[in-house]
Structure 1
Amino acid sequence: MSWEPVLDVVGSVLILLGAALALTAAIGLVRLPDVLNRMHAASKPQTLGFLLLCVGLSLILRDGAASALLALACGLQLVTAPVATQMMGRAAYRTGQFRRDLLVEDAGRDRDDETR
């Protein structure tokens, strides 16, 4: 029995799951009410969806150079997405571009008052 059809099926399923998570992230960006909620949709499902897409593509291609490039892209995504999301959330909080009525606890209030 050859492993190639199995790897193709697993890769296709991972690509479909990654695309579904990316679609969920896009819908969340449109439907969520404020920046602090949207930043979760912009980072968490989008990052996992991208990782699943890369792994699925790597399984289908089965090429060392392509897999290395996809691994580099995954690493950069894992490093840059959380930092960018943190900066967006902090900028939105500091400029007051969020809905205070949606906050359960305002943990940043005391910390930002100390830095000013």
Structure 2
Amino acid sequence: MRAHFDALPPAVALIIAALLVTGAALTFIGALGLLRLPTFYERMHAPTLGTSGGTAGIVIASMLLFSVMQGRLAVHEILIGTFVTVTTPVTLMLLGRAALYRDRSEGRVGPSEADEPEK
């Protein structure tokens, strides 16, 4: 296994490392947003953006690594990135709608108050 990575050009290894660190950092920032933001509605956005951006960086790094190591274009990772990119915003929308429905049915939020930010 080590012989495979020895054949990897240093410039490509640096690009892959930078993409991995960037993707991991975006995902970590999204996780921090989940912990730090005060309300449920604000907490929904940070992990979604972190997951989409982080996935893009990691998927591109994986495609680059396997394309260089196998000597052919590796695009099967695009399927993973597509599923994550499509399902994450849909999940965000469904969670937001369910929370808004719950808050309205319990009388916590009126129709006009749901669109205004908290003070």
TM-score with structure 2 setting the length:
0.72
1:16 aligns with 2:33: no
Compute the displacement of 1:69 (Å): 2.7
> In structure 1, what is the equivalent of residue 30 of structure 2?
25
Compute the displacement of 1:52 (Å): 0.5
The answer to whether the Cα contact below 8 Å between 2:55 and 2:81 also exists between their aligned partners in 1 is yes
> What is the percent sequence identity of the aligned residues?
29
The answer to whether the Cα contact below 8 Å between 2:33 and 2:43 also exists between their aligned partners in 1 is yes
The answer to whether the Cα contact below 8 Å between 2:19 and 2:61 also exists between their aligned partners in 1 is yes
1:72 is aligned, of 66, 72, 79, to 79
Count of paired positions:
100
Aligned partner letter, 1:89: G
1:55 is aligned, of 54, 60, 72, to 60
| Distance in 1 of aligned mates of 2:39 and 2:95 | 12
Compute the displacement of 1:5 (Å): 2.3
1:89 aligns with 2:96: yes
| Distance in 1 of aligned mates of 2:18 and 2:91 | 29
Larger Rg: 2
The answer to whether the Cα contact below 8 Å between 1:22 and 1:45 also exists between their aligned partners in 2 is yes
Unpaired segments ≥5 residues, structure 1: 109-116
| Distance in 2 of aligned mates of 1:4 and 1:94 | 54
Higher helix residue share = 1
Aligned partner letter, 1:14: L
Unpaired segments ≥5 residues, structure 2: 1-7
1:42 aligns with 2:47: yes
Over aligned residue pairs, what C-alpha RMSD do you find? 2.5
> In structure 2, what is the equivalent of residue 7 of structure 1?
12
The answer to whether the Cα contact below 8 Å between 2:27 and 2:47 also exists between their aligned partners in 1 is no
TM-score with structure 1 setting the length:
0.74
